[in-house]
Amino acid sequence: QVQLQESGPGLVKPSETLSLTCTVSGGSISSYYWSWIRQPPGKGLEWIGYIYYSGSTNYNPSLKSRVTISVDTSKNQFSLKLSSVTAADTAVYYCARVRWELRYWYFDLWGRGTLVTVSS
């Protein structure tokens, strides 16, 4: 059974770069798309972007200038970097598997999420 686990610092200083990793266990990262989604405390979900195992990416236009998603197939991991963070980036960050059916896509498997707080 495939499982996703987020990891990374829980506290990041303003203006610095947030870095998180998602480890895929119980299955291969290959042949799938993988995504990051976040949720500020008490608020709704926001899609950040996705990456294919080959490395192609697609980002939310509202975050595109600050986001980089990368993949390491040898480690069965993909990662998120969000630069120049502010308090507004404080959120629970989820990694998720993207399911494609023809030209439609959605999130069929989620990690448990990790809280990242931006504060000095």
Residues in contact with other proteins by the rule CB under 8 A: 35, 44-47, 58, 60-62, 94, 99, 101, 103-108, 110-113
* Choice between 68 and 73, CB closer to other proteins: 68
CA–CA distance, 91 with 104 (Å, rounded to integer): 27
Which tokens sit at 50? 């996705």
Taking the complex as a whole, how short is the minimal distance between the CB of residue 94 and other proteins, in angstroms?
Answer: 6
Phi-psi category of residue 84: left, alpha or beta, with phi > 0 → left and psi -120 to 50 → alpha: left
Looking only at the bridges linking them, the beta strands covering 67-72 and 11-12 are unpaired
* Choice between 44 and 86, CB closer to other proteins: 44
Taking the complex as a whole, how short is the minimal distance between the CB of residue 108 and other proteins, in angstroms?
Answer: 6
* Choice between 1 and 120, CB closer to other proteins: 1
Which tokens sit at 33? 């798309």
